[in-house]
Amino acid sequence: MSTAPAIAYDRMFRLDGRTVFVSGAAGHLGQAMVRGYLCAGARVILNGRQAPRLDALRAKLRQEGHDPDAIAVAVFDMRDEAALARCFASLPRLDVLVNNAITVEMGTIATASPEQFASAYDSGVRASFTAMRIAEPALLNAAAAEGHAAVINIASMYGTVSPDPSIYGDTGLNSPPHYGPAKAALIQLTRYMACHWGANGIRVNAIAPGPFPREEFQRDHADFTARLAKKTPLGRVGAASEVAGSAVFLASDAASYITGTVLNVDGGWTAW
């Protein structure tokens, strides 16, 4: 039977001395989570497929005053098992694994292909499972040192509810039919892994973001953004920084008794 970790109330949200791996780190939500982890004191490994984007993000983070020694870059596709193995084998411990990456092509019921379904599932579900399995030894080392380690899977509100067709109309901005099913599978995988790893001190949770359009998207599609905002009880879309707090919380000692849950960060979208 595992024992409860000792929690210092004045540091329950701190991640000093801990290592966090974020896939899709250069993306809209990825960048926000990276900043949150750095501000909480963690060492963060930025993962993505494009070296220039990751190098640019690292340079920007340094310009913002973040400790350059706390920022590392790992360039590879999360579907590459050999690259995953090399990366995680080099880590004496991994405190937090954030599965954020997914490859999704736009499409509709009429245009979506079996290949697009396969790509979304492969990148969003199978790759996440493979990352968890390969990272297990490093996660166990962290759990032994801190009392717990954390996996955070980035799902979506569309993993639990369908997109409302009336919002999208003929905009061409439709959430494709392969995106939600992949995220639903990731949510179920989260529950499965949480139940099977709980006794080992590895917590597995998911965050389900709601509408988080980029600022330039909001400017270019103001009417559509307004329809998204109206769909939420809070009456607005989210800012990427509003995901960072949830990501830090689920990684921290403050969440040491939370596993197998899905934290909806959606402005109340799924509440009605």
* Mean of the per-residue pLDDT values of the chain: 96
pTM of the prediction? 0.96
Q: How confident is the model at residue 77 (pLDDT cuts 50, 70, 90)?
A: very high
DSSP structural state of residue 175: P
Residue 179: its pLDDT value, please? 97
Copy the structure tokens of residue 129: 């499972």
Q: Quick: pLDDT tens for 30-51.
A: 999 999 999 999 999 999 999 9
Residue 71: its pLDDT value, please? 98
Q: State the DSSP string of 208-254.
A: EE-----HHHHHHTHHHHHHHHHTSTTSSPPPTHHHHHHHHHHHSGG
Residue 1: its pLDDT value, please? 59
Copy the structure tokens of residue 185: 């599978």
Known active-site residue 9 = no
Domains (ranges, CATH) in the chain?
Answer: 13-271 (3.40.50.720)
Q: Quick: pLDDT tens for 168-193.
A: 888 888 899 999 999 999 999 999 99
Q: Per the residue annotation, which of 121, 168, 179, 257 is the catalytic one? A: 179
Residue 2: its pLDDT value, please? 66
Q: Quick: pLDDT tens for 201-258.
A: 999 999 999 999 999 999 999 999 999 999 999 999 999 999 999 999 999 999 999 9
Residue 226: its pLDDT value, please? 96
